[in-house]
Amino acid sequence: MRSARTKAIAALAMLPMLAACENSATAFMIEGSQHALILVREKPYFWQGTVNQAVIASRLPHCQNRVPIHPDGTELTPMEVFEAGERLWALHQGRRWYLVGTDKCQVQDWDNAAGSAPGPALGTFRFKDGVATFIPAGR
C-alpha cells in the first residue's frame, strides 16, 4: 500500500499539470445578462499547445448558440469587439475577424479585406491578472 506521504507527493506533482489547463468564459454584456457575447476558452490537457475557443451569441429567450472558432495560443490573444450594425458585432483576434449577430445568434468567419474596424470599439477580451476578462473601451 502507498503511504499517505507518497499520495501527497503524487498529488503535489500533478498540480503544475492541472494548473496548465484552462476552462474559462467571460462575457460582453449587451443588454443585461440576457443579451451577451461570451468568449469560451478550453484547454483540457496540459500538453496541448493551443486552447480551443468558442463564441456564444446569446439573446434570451429568443436564441443562444455556441460556435467553435479558431484555436488560440495558451496566452489569450486580445480579441477586440466592435459595433457593426443592428444586433451585429465584429470580433478581431490576431489576423482573424468574426461577425456575430444576435438577431438569430449566428457566428461566422469574416474576410475583412479592408482590415479596418466596421464601427466604434466597444472593448476587448484579454487576460487581466491571469483571468480572461472583458474590458470596456476607454478603461
The DSSP code for 25 is E
Segment 77-97 shows an average pLDDT of 95
The confidence score (pLDDT) of residue 9 equals 53
Helices (runs of H) and strands (runs of E) counted in the chain = 1, 10
Question: Do the Cβ atoms of 42 and 52 come closer than 8 Å?
Answer: yes
User: What is residue 32's predicted lDDT score, i.e. its pLDDT?
Assistant: 84
Beta-bridge partners for 63: 59
Nearest to 94 by CA among 111, 79, 109, 81: 79
pLDDT at 107 over 90: yes
What average pLDDT score do residues 65-84 get?
93
Longest dimension (CA), the chain: 66
In this prediction, residue 79 carries a pLDDT of 96
* 23, 37, 59, 126 from 65: Cα distances, Å: 18, 10, 9, 22
CA separation for the pair 56, 107 (Å, rounded) = 8
In the chain the first and final C-alpha atoms are separated, in Å, by 56
- Separation of alpha carbons 17 and 59, rounded Å: 37
The percentage of the chain sitting over the pLDDT mark of 70, rounded to a whole number, equals 84
Complete DSSP assignment for 46-69: TT-SEEEEEEEEEETTTEEEEEEE
Residue with the larger pLDDT of the pair 75 and 5 = 75
pLDDT tens-place string over residues 17-68: 444 566 789 999 998 889 999 999 998 888 888 999 999 999 999 999 999 9
As a whole number of angstroms, the distance between CA 83 and CA 69 comes to 19
Identify the pLDDT of residue 3: 63
